[in-house]
Structure 1
């Protein structure tokens, strides 16, 4: 018989979790509609999912038309689901919301209906299009504000103002300026702005993978991952923290939000961590760090992997292959960190009879892994991500019928279609708003100007440029969702690294890592704040601890910029083995240094030696590997001798 750990307090605890998500994740603050309004929005969202399934399989739509339909399907429900202000109605939409939704329908359908005419006259702006374009810009900004908060729309407004006010900027940032008509043309009528490459990726790869996650969730996929992690790691020293690492990593493969991942998994794992003796701030930090890592874990990487492949013009599989080793090392570092703290403080695991049986979990629900296998198989066979996601979603339905408890009924099918579309709204509107940043950068050359100034500020030195880039990404990434985070940092910061000869994929992963780490780095560490809210801990202390647990993410990007072998660039199977071996020992050493424990509490000199030795081991070079191994084993030897001396004194 499979035992289920009694940790939930039913609806009250679920409501508390939802309240925490809404507090820190603006995408979750939608209205709770009822009656005909709820039915109308649900039908719209179901149609949205069906449209995307059609477009990705048998639909013969042009790229621009598909993007326009995607944005139209996105903006209409946003104005109906998301209140404009805190005092706006929370259980119904207003006449103003309906008016804005209708306006969104009009500005997008105009492009669909008159697209051929727009192309034939070279996108020259008519008087009607001029006003429709201004309206479209305002509507996208307002929709973005409602869903994402103020930070991203304000950034977009700054970039738009730069188009008009270029002559007033100093030095190399100055330009002649553009008329409103020219900006409207570039942002609205040409696929460089709102309907640019970012929205294109959202309309294809991203939406389908989000839909795949929604279908998998309706079969009980999230519970399967949690139970599997509990059964596998629950009895280990400090077991609940290791469960958090496993469960968050597994859920992170299909979840595109570090905040939602922290709240969903954390509601389950954080109380358990506190129960076995972890301090509340540490429990919240573990969950935040592990959940944020889900954004750098292939295959989905918070949807950024698809956009990165599009930006770099490389196959999607190239991105996930490059990202896999750093992601595994990141999770290994967190795992060993919580292990060292558990040993340091004498924390035990949970009793076996309170936990699910991992073997039984696999027997009863292990078939839920098969859709992931289908996707990976199709990607390895060089099929497109759209094809893989489509058939992965279809396979979820088929596989669910292998067991009665996982079967998708008609009701669950409709709910999956609705929730998939609802979950995609935030990503889609973020891509549309970020289109302003990309569009104005291509119009004014601002991205190139910023990268040139960044390199000049660093005096052309790569290491200094990397440090400035890291700081810039941490600042730009504050409060932004994963997709927008990557697009902004890759547009503004990555070109500077490219100028200094950094491998493109290494440059983009570098900015992606540090943009994502803003979620656990104070002052605006929303994932850490979410974990602190569940744990009842100090948010800043939780954020600082999460930063310490995420130390690997602050080291690895520097390593793979200088040594791209860590990204499996130009390596064979035989020379990657020693790189992996030394990298694992290096991460073990760094984790011991940051937590101050290996066999015993480490002295300050030992911690410094472990940290330096760990860095040396992470650099794929024979000389540094030998030095790092010597340092690591010397410290290990010293700790072992002290351990034996303690045992002798006790005996």
Structure 2
């Protein structure tokens, strides 16, 4: 639409350049000719294999996962160059060693299906060929992860492998018997505790289908529709463009698995709007980065981590339990950003978009049917249908809704394109979950998780708040530079056990580490989403990251709240308790936002700011006494603000009289 062109200052090439700079997943070769067709049909076959197993049933775990891995690794080595700088220089051809690595990946992927009976009959004894294939699988996974996801998770996986091998030489409580090289290889590739473990298992079933679902949604035009709907809903309000960014990114997060990708795609539209209205570059970038990162916390998909959570927590917990539990914290997170941007807009006197800049609301709301597939996912999962079938039915609904859209007719070519795009998106997830499986395997074999948990608790002296603080720091560090799925696997394996040992409910513990692992994307010094937003806005990266952390203050408070008060996650509670907790939390966020921004109905002075933050923390902290004291402070501050407004308006009214 024309209004998009008015605000969108980044071309597709500039968006791609930013993506490649901050998101390794975007740095693929642009293959043409025979190689281009080979990759195209490889991606298409990958998707068709996954759809086939979703319809007719998955194979044995080792076979399903190894085929999934073989597809992913071989395509990664064809698409992702070993050195991204070479790609930028215009050398798009595949190096000979990438062709060799792709062929070796096919061998690794085919090994379990071909040798299944022989491996099983071997009862854990590895032949020379088995050992060689196992070593090769580990090397290929590490290199593929480096290319698609980056160095942080690759280094962590290598360190864990070293820890497993050099166990007897580790200091203090970290010491263990050690794993021989043969035992290490066996664990990594010939059990379901390593590379072929639960993370890759979830990638080869649920996650792939939902990534495919996201690709089909994009083909229906829902991505652009999110922007149009956000403008129609929030564009005219105070500081409208910032609220558009928040609303749009919350919607984008329902289908996106990448904070950086969300920043660049929706930010190329919302950030120029905010700058044109009068927001500072750093603030405009921070709003988009914070909102886009929060999209990973938003049900129903939560960056695909929700499906891993089902498997990791176990105990009969369902996907719907997790989505329901995450709903209120996610709403509070976005409410906190919304309130802060509202106060900032009032502080500097910003208005909303003009009537001429607004889209035709009637036209926008007439396309609400484009959201039907997302609604269908939620309804189907609530009805108790399996996750895989819910994804399949939702994909079919995407095709139907795409056909109804006159501007975008989803024909055969678009369906094929969505299958290819979905497989392409899944490559980095497959490599990341395989690498995460290495970490989980070492933790399981060495008991490292329990050792680190006891270490954290001892460091905190057994105090729950101190343990939460140390766990937060650990999750922020572990989450730096990792994609959502791997992020959750690492933090839940290493950091969550400490909280569980202190009798924190499993779901609260896992969501706690997940939250802090995710907001590492906007927490300096490694704040990829904030840095990408600074690139779009032309702002200073570190300052944008600091502003993002300030706007995301809710994300630093809410996890503590739902650990200390599980009612927020709707665990073993009544609706009356939930409503009260949400009310006090929302009120607390208003007070904290006023204190942090320094504006409410007027400028908030330093003493008032301190009182406002204290009142907000008391309201958010669970407990009747703290709630009543905080509410008292809040009402007093509100009364002061209203009295000031009343006195200010009086002379005007008298003059009019």
The two structures, once aligned, show a CA RMSD in angstroms of 1.4
Shift of residue 61, structure 1, vs aligned partner:
1.4
Q: Partners in 2 of 1:179 and 1:519 — Cα distance?
A: 37
CA distance in 1 between counterparts of 2:640 and 2:7 reads 45
> Which residue is equivalent to 1:161?
162
Q: Which runs of 5+ in 1 are unaligned?
A: none
Q: CA–CA distance in 2 between the matches of 1:291 and 1:442? A: 34
User: Which of 324, 328, 333 matches 1:330?
Assistant: 333
Q: Displacement of 1:54 after TM fit?
A: 0.8
User: How far apart in 2 are the matches of 1:341 and 1:9?
Assistant: 23
Which shifted more, 503-512 or 399-408?
A: 399-408
Q: Which residue number corresponds to residue 431 of structure 2? A: 429
**Is the 8 Å Cα contact of residues 5 and 355 (structure 1) preserved in structure 2?**
no
Equivalent position of 2:218 in the other structure: 217
8 Å CA contact 1:5–1:356 kept in 2: the answer is no
Q: Does 1:50 align with 2:48?
A: yes
Q: How far 1:9 sits from its partner (Å)?
A: 6.0
**Correspondences of 1:344-383 after superposition (within 5 Å):** 344-363=347-366, 365-383=367-385
Q: Secondary structure in 2 aligned to 1:501?
A: coil
Which residue is equivalent to 1:201?
Answer: 202
Question: What is aligned with 1:6?
Answer: 5
Partner residue of 1:592 out of 587, 591, 594: 594
Unpaired runs of at least 5, structure 2: none
1:413 aligns with 2:415: yes
Residues 65-464 of structure 1: matches in 2 within 5 Å? 65-89=63-87, 90-313=91-314, 314-363=317-366, 365-464=367-466
Q: Aligned partners of 1:251, 1:23: CA distance in 2, in Å? A: 21
**Post-superposition shift, 1:3?**
6.5
SS at match of 2:11: helix
Distance 2:350 2:406 in 1: 39
> Corresponding residue for 1:542?
544
Partner of 2:641: 639
Superposed counterparts of 1:568-579, under 5 Å? 568-579=570-581
1:622 is aligned to 624
Contact residue 8 and residue 269 of structure 2 kept, 8 A: no
**What TM-score, normalized by structure 1, do the two folds share?**
0.97
User: Contact 2:66–2:108 (CA<8 Å) still a contact in 1?
Assistant: no
1:146-186: CA deviation from partner (whole Å, max 9, x where unpaired)? 11111111111100011111111111111122211110000
> Which shows bigger deviation, 443-452 or 540-549?
443-452
Question: SS state of the match for residue 404, structure 1?
Answer: coil
CA deviation vs aligned residue, 1:469-494 (integer Å, no higher than 9, x gap):
11111111111111111110110010
CA distance in 2, matches of 1:323, 1:178: 39
Over residues 19-67 of structure 1, what are the superposed CA-to-partner deviations in whole Å (9 max), with x where a residue is unaligned? Answer: 1111000111111111121111011101111111111111351222111
Q: Is 1:472 paired with 2:499?
A: no
Question: Is the Cα contact below 8 Å between 2:212 and 2:422 reproduced in 1?
Answer: yes
Superimposed CA distance per residue, residues 614-641 of structure 1 (whole angstroms, 9 cap, x where no aligned partner) = 1222234333222222111100111122
**Do 1:3 and 1:353's aligned partners in 2 also have CA atoms closer than 8 Å?**
no
Q: Give the CA deviation at 1:581.
A: 2.0
What TM-score, normalized to structure 2?
Answer: 0.97
The answer as to whether partners of 1:3 and 1:357 remain within 8 angstroms in 2 is no
Q: Measure how far apart 1:535 and its partner are.
A: 0.6
Are the equivalent residues in 2 in contact too, given 1:31–1:81 (CA < 8 A)?
Answer: yes
SS of 1:383's equivalent in the other structure is coil
Aligned 1:442-521 pairs, distance under 5 A: 442-521=444-523
Q: Give the deviation of 1:424 after TM superposition.
A: 0.9
User: Would the aligned equivalents of 2:220 and 2:405 in 1 still touch at CA under 8 Å?
Assistant: no
1: CA distance, partners of 2:17 / 2:84: 14
For the residues of structure 1 that align with 2:642 and 2:449, how far apart are their CA atoms? 54
